[in-house]
Amino acid sequence: MDTKLHALPMTDDRLGRPLRDLRISVTDRCNFRCVYCMPKAAFGKGHQFLRRTELLSFEEIHRLAGIFVAQGVKKIRLTGGEPLLRERLEILVEKLAGLGDIDLTLTTNGSLLAKKAAALRAAGLKRITVSLDAIDDPTFCAMNDVDFAVKDVLDGIEAAAKAGFGPVKINMVVKRGLNDHAIMPMARHFHGSGHILRFIEYMDVGSTNGWRMDEVVPASEIISMIDREFPLQALSASNVGEVAQRWGYRDGAGEIGVIASVTQAFCSSCNRIRLSTEGKLFTCLFAQQGHDLRDLLRNGNSDEAIAARIAGIWQQREDQYSEIRTAATQSIKKIEMSYIGG
């Protein structure tokens, strides 16, 4: 696809933030029931997932992605649910890899990664992030709530590294009283591994995870804890809009990151937009509603018309939820993270 044919000027949003990062959810399904994302009470038996006909096809995703790239997007991340549950995902990866010089990445729980890593790499995927919330089975099973073993995720990380994805980023969501005791074991395990462990503050995404502020372990506390055993030094950001604060081990054994979206909000530099599985566009992870692009695709609109709609949505954007979070905003019903991706 020659994306230059569809290029339209894209100005910044109302807070002066450019659009650079597109996150695409390819499925609303997941084989885990993580307590902070898809708790069984809300996503157990009887939960209605989207029908196949409601999902964007690979061709539709590819078309929209091309329009976004023409408008300045430099990075595309595939998410879910669990994206590797989408059949033949490598076909979509190959299509997206052909859009040009973009940073094409994927976030996965790692459960199917050992089987899929080589094919994803061959298709053109550039980087992989794996979610792993503890290094011991009892804690990890308490987090994923389906008794999935740590070893299977570690096998997936190893397969990804062998396929050429190193360094793999490993994300650990930290919830006080549930897996905060696993911080140091995780740090010890990945210290010197060549991979990048990142700690994420437990967030109030969606309305089903029962989030409370006193369950948040601040990033500053995590850094202090690790620094006592493995001295750290601050590193500069990898790029503009980077959400993770980078810290290097003083002994040269790699780096870690912390994503402090609760205690040190980074809304002012947020350049991300999210496309749901069924083609709705969300301008914030904490959004209440989205903008339907699927109907535009399926009703014969031109790329230019769709681009103009996207530009209009972005230019009206003024989201800054994490910077204005209050008891009142916390009680507002929000879209679930499993629906629009993390």
pLDDT at 88 over 70: yes
> pLDDT category, 337, cuts 50, 70, 90?
low
- Using one digit for the tens of pLDDT, what is the confidence trace for 169-185? 999 999 999 999 999 99
List the Cα angle 154/237/92 in 5-degree steps: 50
Closest CA to 123 of 96, 100, 84, 101: 96
The full set of domain ranges for the chain reads: 3-340
Q: What is the pLDDT of residue 5?
A: 43
**DSSP string covering 11-53, please?**
---TTSPPP-EEEEE--S--S---TTTS-HHHHSTT--PPPGG
Q: What is the pLDDT of residue 289?
A: 85
Strand partners, 282: 274
Mean pLDDT value of segment 293-301: 96
Instruction: Answer yes or no: are the C-beta atoms of 3 and 70 closer than 8 Å.
Output: yes
Cα 205 versus chain centre, distance: 12
Q: What is the pLDDT of residue 1?
A: 42
pLDDT at 290 over 50: yes
- How many Cα atoms sit within 13 Å of 257 on the Cβ side? 22
Give the contacts of 249 (CB within 8 A, at least 6 positions apart): 191, 192, 230, 231, 232, 255, 256
Q: Which backbone phi and psi does 326 adopt, to 5 degrees?
A: -140, 175
Mean pLDDT value of segment 105-118: 97
Q: Which backbone phi and psi does 280 adopt, to 5 degrees?
A: -100, 140
- Using one digit for the tens of pLDDT, what is the confidence trace for 198-217? 999 998 776 666 678 889 99
- Using one digit for the tens of pLDDT, what is the confidence trace for 221-246? 999 999 999 999 999 887 766 788 99
- Using one digit for the tens of pLDDT, what is the confidence trace for 1-24? 444 444 566 889 999 999 999 999
More confident residue, 299 or 339: 299
Q: What is the pLDDT of residue 7?
A: 58
> pLDDT category, 334, cuts 50, 70, 90?
low
pTM assigned to the model: 0.91
SS (H, E, C) 259-316: ECCCCCCCHHHCCEEEECCCCEEECCCCCCCCEECHHHHHCCCCHHHHHHHHHHHHHC
Assign domain 3-340 one CATH number from 3.30.450.40, 3.20.20.70, 3.40.50.300, 3.30.930.20.
3.20.20.70
* % of residues, the chain, pLDDT over 70: 89
- Compute the mean pLDDT over every residue in the chain, rounded to the nearest whole number: 90
Within 10 A of 174 (CB to CB), how many other CB atoms are there? 25
